[in-house]
Structure 1
């Protein structure tokens, strides 16, 4: 059984289509969707329809901070751009889609190698604190007995580990290179953003997990990058009625991967 971990789609239809096609071509049979399905992108209703269909078919889906914000509405204290996008996104979604977002769990467990799926971190899932380095990664790993944690929220791929003696380490993964996850360590994987990568590479991110076949085997994770039609995603934004300055800022981020 091969798992695909997909996170931070951010209403980017073109990126999500490309990642789903690649995951199926790579033989993924299970999917975990780690939140932030909406926000920023031009196609929230289409993305939500796909997410809901995948969840109905057995995919794991958890709530991200953008999902929470869209489900409950913007607040006056938000950045004006964020407030505008949230209000616009809410207007694109059906009542069923808004209810689905509001009812998503903050975390879930899965059978591949005792996994915990959570959008931001395991120590305070609803606080939306970023795992920006080893300190936050260790804090998250200490908060759960799961051998493998998979988090979204950070838009750059990263892999952390913690030994039984408390020694921590990290890897910046190379795309397409399988990495063993030995069972004597805990692991925290951040697949990177499907719909809005921020590491200078606009190609969509996701990760594949091959669970260990027995206690004598290691699970393996492979971080993937998938080229997609970025210009089409930008043009879809320009076809919306969002304010032009916001659209151009969002389009620039997609183009540059920032």
Structure 2
């Protein structure tokens, strides 16, 4: 099975549509969404409806921090950019859409893999998995109940808005690996692997192309992808709302 892995869509319908089309051409047979469907972008409702339809056809989805914020009560008195994004997003969503976000699980384990937005050892703390030490803590938690099981060999997440692969070899230490887009990487089950698949809707590595990955469990390969999309269209959609212009500007620079 080829599993397409999407994280941090952030209400960017233009980027999501481009990644879904790319995944279809690449032969993806199933989809997984690793949190943060909403936040920052202009089309949260459209993104939720697209993901809900895919979930009805067998896709998987877990909750991200922005999904949790959008489906919770706002804390009054805060005037940050993040608060403005949450407040605006909540006003756009129907009760049904907010309930969908609220009902998403924090993790999902299946076969040899576990899906999580941030770190499996404390999913609700929204910890950024950016170092071998933090990756090891997440991977260790994924291999034991109640989060996962000893069958888990691959952990897939997002949250950090960049693409990185960590692997644990015979010495026990996790090592980071910077993938090359479009080049399949062997991820055999005799080792343990943790990947952050990057952000569909808000890349932050200095490049503007959307990110996602495909896991081929039969071939035991993981391929990271970068996908061009209509960045100007996504920016214009944000500028047509009451969202801060900063959220549009950052798409142009990938920051």
- Matches of 2:83 and 2:98, distance apart in 1: 17
User: Which deviates the most, 81-90 or 29-38?
Assistant: 81-90
> Deviation string for 1:144-189 (max 9, x for gaps)?
2210000111100000011254122111111000000122211001
Count, aligned residues: 247
Secondary structure in 1 aligned to 2:125?
Answer: coil
Give the alignment of 1:133-152 within 5 angstroms.
133-145=131-143, 146-152=152-158
What is the TM-score when the length of structure 1 is the normalising length? 0.93
Is 1:251 the counterpart of 2:248 in the alignment? yes
1:225 counterpart residue number: 226
- Matches of 2:133 and 2:3, distance apart in 1: 27
- Matches of 1:135 and 1:199, distance apart in 2: 21
Secondary structure in 2 aligned to 1:72?
Answer: coil
> Deviation string for 1:18-59 (max 9, x for gaps)?
000000010001111001000000000100110111111110
Deviation, 1:84, is 1.2
Relative distance call for 1:79 and 1:186 in structure 2 (3 A) is farther
1:44 counterpart residue number: 44
- Matches of 1:231 and 1:183, distance apart in 2: 41
The runs of at least 4 aligned residues of structure 1 exceeding 6 Å deviation read none
- Matches of 2:199 and 2:153, distance apart in 1: 22
1:212 counterpart residue number: 218
Secondary structure in 1 aligned to 2:28?
Answer: coil
Q: 1:118 aligns with which of 116, 119, 126?
A: 116
- Matches of 1:151 and 1:54, distance apart in 2: 19
Give the alignment of 1:1-258 within 5 angstroms.
1-76=1-76, 78=78, 80-111=80-111, 114-145=112-143, 146-212=152-218, 219-242=220-243, 246-247=244-245, 249-258=246-255
- What stretches of structure 2 of length at least 5 have no aligned partner? 144-151
- Matches of 1:167 and 1:77, distance apart in 2: 44
Deviation, 1:79, is 5.5
Deviation, 1:212, is 3.0
Deviation, 1:77, is 6.8
Task: Tell whether the 8 Å contact from 1:6 to 1:194 is kept in structure 2 after alignment.
Answer: yes
Secondary structure in 1 aligned to 2:123?
Answer: coil
1:216 counterpart residue number: none
CA RMSD of aligned residues (A): 1.2
- Matches of 1:45 and 1:117, distance apart in 2: 23
User: Which deviates the most, 67-76 or 121-130?
Assistant: 67-76
Deviation, 1:78, is 4.9
- Matches of 2:78 and 2:242, distance apart in 1: 20
- Matches of 1:30 and 1:15, distance apart in 2: 18
Task: Tell whether the 8 Å contact from 1:34 to 1:118 is kept in structure 2 after alignment.
Answer: yes
